[in-house]
């Protein structure tokens, strides 16, 4: 498993899951695999040694990401499992450099991908 590998090798990684309860965003709920429930992947990540949080409310997202990013800066793998609306469309984000140069340097030295967003207080 990728998270287990990241923890074992102390990789700087923040994983954010868009938990929409299925394999696809199907507003009509006709496709197979649409209603799989809301799996607590955060509990699995925590059992593997990650810092993990489960988020259900939009206003909880930023604080959860900030806490997880602080753990990444401390050398842990961060994991945020965000429950989302099953009708929402997910997108993939290309990872860029964080704005803090010391973090960027440490992550680059480790060969890690880095975070595209600013999570400042």
**Is the pTM of the predicted complex or chain greater than 0.75?**
no
pLDDT, tens digit (0-9, with 9 covering 90-100), for 66-77: 999 999 999 999
Alpha helices in the chain (DSSP H): 2-8, 41-47, 61-73, 101-110
**Is residue 77 in a domain?**
yes
Q: Is 121 helix (H, G, I), strand (E, B) or coil?
A: coil
**Is residue 16 in a domain?**
yes
**Is residue 11 in a domain?**
yes
Domain total in the chain: 1
**Is residue 121 in a domain?**
no
> Which pLDDT band, with edges at 50, 70 and 90, does 114 fall under?
very low
- Residue 77: give the domain boundaries: 2-41+57-110
pLDDT, tens digit (0-9, with 9 covering 90-100), for 25-83: 677 778 888 788 899 999 999 999 999 999 999 999 999 999 999 999 999 999 999 99
Q: What is the mean pLDDT of residues 76-105?
A: 70
Residue burial 33-56, b: 16+ Cβ < 10 Å; e: rest? ebeeeeeebbebbbebebbbbbbe
pLDDT value for 89: 65
**Is residue 51 in a domain?**
no
């Amino acid at each position: 498993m990728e998270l287990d590998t990241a923890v074992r090798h102390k990789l700087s990684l923040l994983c954010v899951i868009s938990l929409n309860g299925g394999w696809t965003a199907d507003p009509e709920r006709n496709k197979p695999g649409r209603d799989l429930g809301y799996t607590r992947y955060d509990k699995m990540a925590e059992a593997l040694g990650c810092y993990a949080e489960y988020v259900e409310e939009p206003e909880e997202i930023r604080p959860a990401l900030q806490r997880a990013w602080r753990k990444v800066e401390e050398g842990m793998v961060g994991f945020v499992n965000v429950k989302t609306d099953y009708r929402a469309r997910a997108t993939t984000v290309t990872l860029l450099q964080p704005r803090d140069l010391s973090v960027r340097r440490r992550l680059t030295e480790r060969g890690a991908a880095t975070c595209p967003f600013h999570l400042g207080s």
